[in-house]
């Protein structure tokens, strides 16, 4: 007699692969793990992705810079690579960045935050500096490689 059983355990479905040599019920406490097949593995990345997106949004809001109207790239520590990337920014993007930073300093001195409708939202935050920064770092590493030769 062939046994095929589905059992729901903590949100996942386990299917027991039938063993033709055995007449015992397919799922008992003594069932070897090799006979269990997990069918929900294909949906795990979707759930994990949604969970990670929720965590990223929560962390973004907990950092607090968005309450001052800043974007993530506004908070990067300015070393020599970042200064070069800032120099390469288009003028309007650089002016917007300086406005956000001056407004955040003013709000910080007054110990205030922006009204909630003016906070920078996770979806609106763009990495405007990151492409320039990656290019500067790539060029610096290439220059170091040339200097080694």
* Tens-binned pLDDT, residue by residue, of the chain (149 aa): 444 444 444 444 444 455 555 555 555 555 455 444 444 444 556 667 888 999 999 998 899 899 999 999 999 999 999 999 999 999 999 999 999 999 999 999 999 999 999 999 999 999 999 999 999 999 999 999 999 88
Which residues, at least 6 apart from 72, have a Cβ–Cβ distance to it below 8 Å?
60, 65, 125, 127
Cβ atoms of 88 and 132 within 8 Å: the answer is yes
Distance of CA 25 to the CA centre of its chain: 45
Neighbouring CB atoms inside 10 A of 145's CB total 9
Residue 60: burial class (beta carbons within 10 Å; 0-12, 13-18, 19+): middle
- Report the candidate in 68, 63, 62, 7 with the shortest Cα–Cα distance to residue 39: 7
Q: How many residues does the chain have?
A: 149
pTM of the full structure: 0.64
Q: How far apart are CA 64 and CA 105, in angstroms?
A: 13
Instruction: Give the pLDDT confidence score for residue 49 in this predicted structure.
Output: 83
DSSP letter for 24, please.
S
Residue 25 token pair: 């019920």
- Report the candidate in 80, 70, 81 with the shortest Cα–Cα distance to residue 120: 70
């Amino acid at each position: 007699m062939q046994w095929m059983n589905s059992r729901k355990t903590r949100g996942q479905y386990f299917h027991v692969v039938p063993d033709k040599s055995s007449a015992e019920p397919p799922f008992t406490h003594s069932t070897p793990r090799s006979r269990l097949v997990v069918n929900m593995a294909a949906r795990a990345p979707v759930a994990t992705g949604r969970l990670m997106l929720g965590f990223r949004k929560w962390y973004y809001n907990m950092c607090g810079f968005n309450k001052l109207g800043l974007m993530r790239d506004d908070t990067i520590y300015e070393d020599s690579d970042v200064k070069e990337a800032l120099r390469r920014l288009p003028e309007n993007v650089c002016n917007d960045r300086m406005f956000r930073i001056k407004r955040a300093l003013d709000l910080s001195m007054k110990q205030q935050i922006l009204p909630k409708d003016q906070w920078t939202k996770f979806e609106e935050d763009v990495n405007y500096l990151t492409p320039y920064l990656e290019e500067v770092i790539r060029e610096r590493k290439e220059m170091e490689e040339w200097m080694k030769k």
